[in-house]
Amino acid sequence: MWTLLGVVAGALTSSGYLPQIVKGFRTKRMDDVSALMPGILGVGMLLWLVYGIHKEDLPITLANIAGSTFAFTIVIQKCYYRRYQGGDR
Residue-wise pLDDT tens digits, 51-72 = 999 999 999 999 999 999 999 9
Length of the chain: 89
Q: Which pLDDT value is given to residue 85?
A: 72
Q: Which carries the bigger pLDDT value, residue 86 or residue 34? A: 34
Q: Give the residue-averaged pLDDT of 23-43.
A: 92
Q: Which pLDDT value is given to residue 88?
A: 52
Class of CATH domain 2-84: mainly alpha
Contact 49, 65 (CB under 8 A): yes
Is 82 strand, coil or helix? Answer: helix
Q: How many C-beta atoms lie closer than 10 Å to residue 70's C-beta?
A: 20
Each domain of the chain, given as residue ranges in start order, spans 2-84
Q: How do residues 3-21 score in pLDDT, each as one tens digit? A: 899 889 999 999 999 999 9
